Amino acid sequence: MVRSRTMKDRSSGPASPSLLDQLCVEFPGLDLFLGWMATFFQMSPSLLRSRFAHGVETLGPTSARAACGRWQELGILPRLRARTDPQVAALWQSPLWQVLLEHVIHFAPPAGTDVAEHLPPACRDVEAFLARGLPPLSTAGYWRQSLYLPLHEIYLEPYLDPSLSPRGCDLACGWGRATLSMREMPRRPQRQMWGCDLSVQSLGRFEDLARVRGIADRISTVRAPVFHLPFSESFFGFALVFDILEHLTTQAVQRTLREILRVVQPGGVVYTEIPLEDYCPPATHLQHFEAKDVTELFAKASYSAKRFSPLAYEPRIPHARSWRVDRA
């Protein structure tokens, strides 16, 4: 009987703090980060914390503490306000950031997913896109929702010059959303895509999803910063620039636009996806673009005799634009 009471007393005692609880005590600012993320993704704070705690456990104490320590060294903690390009790059490559992406918001499709099965019907015009809307993040997950945003059939395919190179660059490609959502890719065997990103994990996921999609033989991945691409001048006929410029400082944006002009042929198309008025420090957005800001940045960019000229823009879909690379 004594043994039984002792066991019962132990089981009814206070639970040991979770690894996440310990990290929040050891690294001030981490708890604030979780609250900000819940607000940004419009998710219940308790749900977000529960998912994040589970992901942290998969990392283990050593890796989790090392990642938090790295954020502290870079000056990201305790306020978790990324203000420089190295800080943003470090966040996106951090194991803790991957926990947020993988376990909390489901940023990328699981390995082995056929992305084609989750693409919405193509939109013939802007009205069709507006009528379609987006699936809710809470039920669809971030990656399924994000597949509703690319509109290659409106902003890219109609403007591609068949006399130019069929090579395309997917800049800061992540898991390959911009490329894998191209419905014309399987039907155009001559088209080759190069995905560039700093995250080895993201590039690996892109390669896996490309295999399932049946286009692995036409996909190449390169680990490289967006403002220093390892390609010769005018190597590409077009470029996809999705959700990257808002994560860069103004100087880095200018360098990146110049680099895009360098590697895309005159007459080539650059299709951009840039969220406007979406500033959120903990989500690594360093810019608070308005439409006029984007217009001015592209108008001022130049490389040698190349410049951008506006090609397609509809104010009702402010995130999407396409540009022609012209000779000045």
- The hierarchical CATH code for the domain 115-327 is 3.40.50.150
Res 75: pLDDT: 86
Res 80: pLDDT: 74
Res 283: pLDDT: 64
182 is written with which tokens? 């191209």
Over the stretch 28-81, which tens digit does the pLDDT of each residue have?
889 988 888 888 777 899 999 999 999 999 999 999 999 999 999 988 888 777
Query: Residue 105 and residue 100: Cα distance in Å, rounded?
Result: 7
Low-confidence ranges of the chain (pLDDT < 70): 1-15, 138, 277-283
- What are the structural domain ranges in the chain? 2-104, 115-327
Res 91: pLDDT: 87
Res 225: pLDDT: 93
Res 114: pLDDT: 96
Res 282: pLDDT: 54
Q: Do residues 57 and 302 lie in contact, with contact meaning Cβ atoms separated by under 8 Å? A: no
Query: Residue 74 and residue 62: Cα distance in Å, rounded?
Result: 19
The structure's pTM equals: 0.87
Res 8: pLDDT: 40
Q: Do residues 301 and 255 lie in contact, with contact meaning Cβ atoms separated by under 8 Å? A: no
